[in-house]
Amino acid sequence: MNEAQHLTEIDFETLTEEESRELLNMLRSEVDNIDAEIVELLNERAKRAALIGKIKKFLGRPNYSPQREKEIIKKLLQIADAQLGPSALMRIYERIIDEFRAIQRREREKEV
């Protein structure tokens, strides 16, 4: 049983107020750590997106690659968790892809 499954089995009827506060603080701390990891990974993704933009420019390819973006979304939907859901994941990643496309565009414009 993973940690998330274990947490969903908490009996909130039997938790004391103090236990509830402790659990809340623990979960918030875990979310903060996860957020830090997400930002770190997004920064790594941004570095690669910038480099991809430079390579696309060198190869004379357009910045926007709809087929590649469809492939990304398709792969992500295959690993989507029921908790987040496919439509939420798509909305999040469409936004991420838009931002990284903008990074690529800025990199290409820098080189002009």
- pLDDT of residue 8 exceeding 80: no
Determine, yes or no, domain membership for 9: no
Determine, yes or no, domain membership for 24: yes
Q: What CATH number has the domain bearing residue 21?
A: 1.20.59.10
CB 62 within 8 A of CB 56: yes
Angle at 94 between CA 89 and CA 97, to 5 degrees: 120
Domain span at residue 104 reads 14-110
Total domain count for the chain?
1
Determine, yes or no, domain membership for 1: no
**Residues above pLDDT 70, as percent of the chain:** 93
Determine, yes or no, domain membership for 7: no
Determine, yes or no, domain membership for 104: yes
How large is the average pLDDT for residues 60-66?
A: 89
**Residues above pLDDT 90, as percent of the chain:** 54
Q: Note the pLDDT of residue 44.
A: 97
Instruction: Record the pTM.
Output: 0.78
